[in-house]
Chain A
Amino acid sequence: MATSIQNISLSGKKKQVSNKEMTFWERLYLVAIIKGLLITIKHFFRKKATIHYPEQVREFSPVYRGKHTLKRDEQGRENCTACGLCALTCPAEAITMKAAERKKGEEHLYREEKYAEIYEINMLRCIFCGLCEEACPKDAIYLTISKELVPAQYDREDFIYGKDKLVMPLEVAMANTQKLN
Chain B
Amino acid sequence: MDSALIIEKSIFIVVVFAVTMLMAMYSTWAERKVAAFLQDRVGPNRAGWGGLLQPLADGLKLFAKEEFEPNTPNKFLFFVGPGIAMATALITSAVIPWGDKLELFGRTIQLQATDIDVSILYVFGVVSVGVYGIMIGGWASNNKFSLMGAVRAASQMVSYEVAMGLSIIALLMMSGSLSLHDITVQQHGMNWNIWYQPVGFLIFLICAFAETNRTPFDLAECESELIGGYHTEYSSMKMGFYLFAEYANMFISSTLISVLYFGGYNYPGMDWVGTNWGTNAATLLGIGALFAKICFFIFFYMWVRWTIPRFRYDQLMNLGWKILIPLSIINIMITGVCILAFK
- A, B: real partners: yes
Please, which residue of chain B has its CB at the minimum distance from the CB of A45? B37
Q: Mark B16-47, 1 if CB is under 8 A from A, else 0.
A: 00000000000000000010011111100100
Q: How far is the CA of A28 from the CA of B318 in the complex (A)?
A: 11
Q: Mark A45-60, 1 if CB is under 8 A from B, else 0.
A: 0111110100000000
Q: Say which one of A32-40, A72-80, A143-151 lies at the interface with B.
A: A32-40
Interfacial chain A residues near B38, Cβ < 8 Å: 40-41, 43-44
Interfacial chain B residues near A41, Cβ < 8 Å: 38, 303
B122 within 8 A of A: no
Q: How far is the CA of A44 from the CA of B42 in the complex (A)?
A: 10
Decide if the interface of chain B is mainly helix, strand, loop or mixed: loop
Nearest chain B CB to A163's CB is how many angstroms away? Answer: 34
B7 within 8 A of A: no
Q: Is the CB of A40 within 8 A of B307?
A: yes
Q: How far is the CA of A50 from the CA of B39 in the complex (A)?
A: 10
Interfacial chain A residues near B39, Cβ < 8 Å: 43
Q: Is the CB of B42 within 8 A of A48?
A: yes
Q: Is the CB of A43 within 8 A of B308?
A: no
Interfacial chain A residues near B308, Cβ < 8 Å: 33, 36
Q: How far is the CA of A62 from the CA of B313 in the complex (A)?
A: 52
Q: Is the CB of A49 within 8 A of B41?
A: yes
Interface size on A, residues (CB 8 A): 15
Counted as pairs of residues, one from A and one from B, with CB atoms less than 8 Å apart, the total is 36
Given that A33-B308, A37-B304, A41-B303 are known contacts, is A50 also in contact with B41, CB under 8 Å in the complex?
yes
B306 within 8 A of A: yes
Q: Is the CB of B37 within 8 A of A43?
A: yes
Q: How far is the CA of A52 from the CA of B303 in the complex (A)?
A: 25
Please, which residue of chain B has its CB at the minimum distance from the CB of A36? B307
Q: Is the CB of A48 within 8 A of B40?
A: yes
Please, which residue of chain B has its CB at the minimum distance from the CB of A41? B303
Interfacial chain A residues near B41, Cβ < 8 Å: 48-50
Please, which residue of chain B has its CB at the minimum distance from the CB of A27? B323
Q: Is the CB of B307 within 8 A of A44?
A: no
Please, which residue of chain A has its CB at the minimum distance from the CB of B39? A43
Nearest chain B CB to A48's CB is how many angstroms away? Answer: 5
Q: How far is the CA of A43 from the CA of B306 in the complex (A)?
A: 11
Please, which residue of chain B has its CB at the minimum distance from the CB of A38? B307
The 6 A-B residue pairs whose C-beta atoms are closest, nearest first, are A40-B307, A36-B307, A50-B42, A49-B40, A40-B38, A44-B37
Question: What are 16 A-B residue pairs whose CB atoms fall within 8 Å in the complex?
Answer: A28-B323, A33-B307, A33-B308, A36-B308, A37-B303, A40-B307, A41-B38, A44-B37, A44-B38, A48-B37, A48-B40, A48-B41, A48-B42, A49-B40, A49-B41, A52-B42
